[in-house]
Amino acid sequence: MININMANTKFKSFQFPFEKGKIREFANAIYDPNPIYRDSQYAKSQGFSDVIIPPTFPMTALFHVESDNIVLEVMQKLGMDPIKSVHGEIEYTYERPICAGESLRGEINIGNIYEKAGKRGGTMTFVELEIKLFDTTDRLVAIVRNTFIEKG
């Protein structure tokens, strides 16, 4: 049973460097040839300090936190059953672009937890997992919201 009292709680903090080589690898992995993710001179000609990250790149931060699998760790703390759970959606919100060479402070938070009746009976429990990224002045740069669903 999911512990709904963990809603809106801070789970873990981390520091995450945005490295040019990793940005290029990610762009290669998603088959995006845009030079804004690869060529420093091109990115600078577009007004950035260096190459910028592709929109879905912040998810890689989850793989650089001390835990082997932060999502499973959160599910375990919440009492979620991974066998009965699925990924529902993901949403990215940016306050500004993120450039190579930045190191941002990240916070992993458990967001809203709510229930809905399933169409085939039972109750589905929705859990939002948020990653918030802050710059060196503690200004919010981006939020990644993942919604996981445990089927009834």
Which residues lie closer than 8 Å to 137 by C-beta, 6 or more apart?
none
pLDDT higher than threshold 80 for residue 38:
yes
What mean pLDDT do residues 27-47 have? 97
With bands split at pLDDT 50, 70 and 90, how would you rate the model's confidence at 18? very high
Measured CA to CA in angstroms, residue 16 lies from 38, 86, 134 at distances of 19, 27, 10
pLDDT at 135: 96
User: What is the Cα gyration radius of the chain?
Assistant: 17
CB 97 within 8 A of CB 52: yes
Give the chain's domains with CATH numbers: 4-150 (3.10.129.10)
Helix (H, G, I), strand (E, B) or coil at 114: strand
pLDDT at 66: 60
Per-residue pLDDT of 115-126, as tens digits, reads 998 888 788 999
